[in-house]
Amino acid sequence: EAGVTQSPRYAVLQEGQAVSFWCDPISGHDTLYWYQQPRDQGPQLLVYFRDEAVIDNSQLPSDRFSAVRPKGTNSTLKIQSAKQGDTATYLCASSLGYQDTQYFGPGTRLLVL
C-alpha cells in the first residue's frame, strides 16, 4: 500500500512570493489533514477535510493561506505572499473515517528568506 506522498520536498522563497504544496493521501482515506511544524516543535493543525468538505480551518491564516480538496482525493495548500515566519515543515496526513491513527507524508520543508 502506497503511503501519503507530498511534493515538493523542499522549497526556498523570498518574502512575498507564493508557493503551493501538493498531497496525495492513502487511497480510500476520506479524511485529510494539513499540519505546520516549526523547527523543534510538534505539528500544529492548519486545516482538515472530510472528503471535499472543510471540517475545520480555524487555525489557517486565511488572509494568506488557502487549502482545497476538490474531488475528495488530492489536496493543495497554498501560501500567498510568504513571510519569514512561515518557515516550517508542512505535513499532510490522512485517515479513514473516524479512526484515530493518522498516516503522515514526509513533509515539505519551506524556507522563506
Handedness of CA 65, 47, 52, 26 (dihedral sign): positive
Instruction: Pick the stretch among 14-22, 34-42, 68-76, 79-87 that binds another protein (CB under 8 A).
Output: 34-42
> For another protein, which residue of 43, 65, 69, 88 counts as binding (CB under 8 A)?
43
> For another protein, which residue of 11, 67, 105, 112 counts as binding (CB under 8 A)?
105
> For another protein, which residue of 19, 21, 36, 48 counts as binding (CB under 8 A)?
48
> For another protein, which residue of 8, 18, 56, 81 counts as binding (CB under 8 A)?
56
Residues 6+ positions from 7 with CB-CB distance below 8 Å: 21, 22, 108
For 58-87, the three-class secondary structure string (H helix, E strand, C coil) is: CCCCCCCEEEECCCCCCEEEEECCCCHHHC
Asked if 41 is part of the footprint of another protein (rule: CB under 8 A), the reply reads yes
Asked if 26 is part of the footprint of another protein (rule: CB under 8 A), the reply reads no
- Amino acid sitting at position 86: D
Asked if 91 is part of the footprint of another protein (rule: CB under 8 A), the reply reads yes
User: 83 and 14 in contact (C-beta within 8 Å)?
Assistant: no
What are the residues binding another protein (CB under 8 A)? 4, 31, 33, 40-45, 48, 50, 55-56, 91, 93, 95, 98, 100-107
